[in-house]
Amino acid sequence: MIALANQISIGGDAKMGTATFIADEAEFDGLLGDESLLVVDCTASWCGPCKLVAPMMDQLAEGYGDRIRVFKLDLDSNKEVAKRFSIRSIPAVMFFKQGELLETIIGVKPYEEFTGAVDRHLA
């Protein structure tokens, strides 16, 4: 748990705003056609654990920005996306390539779990 707290602290020092919000399902669908790896952080403004993952997504966007695209999606405004991908718990981070869902990581995890997923899907 100490390592997780350290990663959250490190993530909090990263420049904020690098992973921008997707406006709606139409924009989300447009992003799915992208050939690069797409990472979508499913979140909600009232979700405490989501606030722990958000800085890590910004850090991920900064660290891999030239090879992946990282976005945040407010599930309160996009309930159909949650239904479509069976998201029942947040935070949930989905990894897509060419429109195909490759993996979903549920919950607050160490930063290394997210980078490990990115590295696996870039290989």
What distance in Å separates the CA atoms of residue 12 and residue 36, rounded to the nearest whole number?
Answer: 26
Please list the alpha-helical segments (H only) found in the chain.
2-13, 25-32, 48-64, 79-84, 111-122
Chain centre distance of CA 24: 16
Catalytic site positions: 47, 50
Count of alpha carbons within 13 angstroms of residue 66, beta-carbon side: 1
